[in-house]
Structure 1
């Protein structure tokens, strides 16, 4: 089986069998992601990620083409049981997330989650930009960013859609930032 076909097969199997997997991507210095594949599309996939405390910690959407390895985690059974005892098993996709293309993905996520984290890992590794969606155009997205101190930037920033490699939302950090920052003040 060719490498791309093997990755697609393993992603599909992880989704169908609710397997805890580790994803490795072709992007230098990109995080390895551990969690459950909850949605698959041609361009993007969505994972419910787990943290070191054996909890679900939000969602991560990554470009399907960037995934080069899908490995089942040996702790799959233990983690599944722990999540069941916490009442969070099985992990499910949030409602109405559209993985058809990046514009629809960002727009659909912003309808249900107050903050999104945009990663441009090839261009700007080890940094993400967290904010509230202002708008999506043909080639760019604008967000009103919130700082790590939970203060809102005055003006929106624009990011090229083609450079976005990962989108996080619904995690403990985004939720805490949203709670402390509240709504952005009028410009």
Structure 2
């Protein structure tokens, strides 16, 4: 069995940089400092606390790990073997304080990275209900790579079901809070 490496190793960091340059050619300089420091740790399933100015590149901390997992899972033999599972249907949860922020994140993820995301807001839940769509089933089957949700919705019974879904749990690569200073205790 081949030896495994961590994403924070030199080879792991080089792999991340290679994939980013391949998938996001508009980023001429690749990852910025906060991204280079945090993304390999996130991919290693380590806890990260990142603070930076607006526009500093923090949103890449939840978009790039999804892209890395998707790319490696498409052709695992082309990449090193990592010491964490590479998920074929990677999912991340982003806790946000406002539905406006959730909707903006979802639109930007689709536009910039072709990442399917869902803003778990009352309006969107109502629209899914009216369309007779089982959003819990969609989320637990990993149809969305990122789910943006506010703290109030996280307390609902549906999130207990989502969190206890085997498929969802096996593909969950991170959970984070955006604008944490605004989230009520």
Q: How high is the TM-score relative to the length of structure 1?
A: 0.29
Relative contact order: is structure 1 or structure 2 higher (C-alpha 8 Å, sep ≥ 6)? 2
Indicate the structure with greater helix content: 2
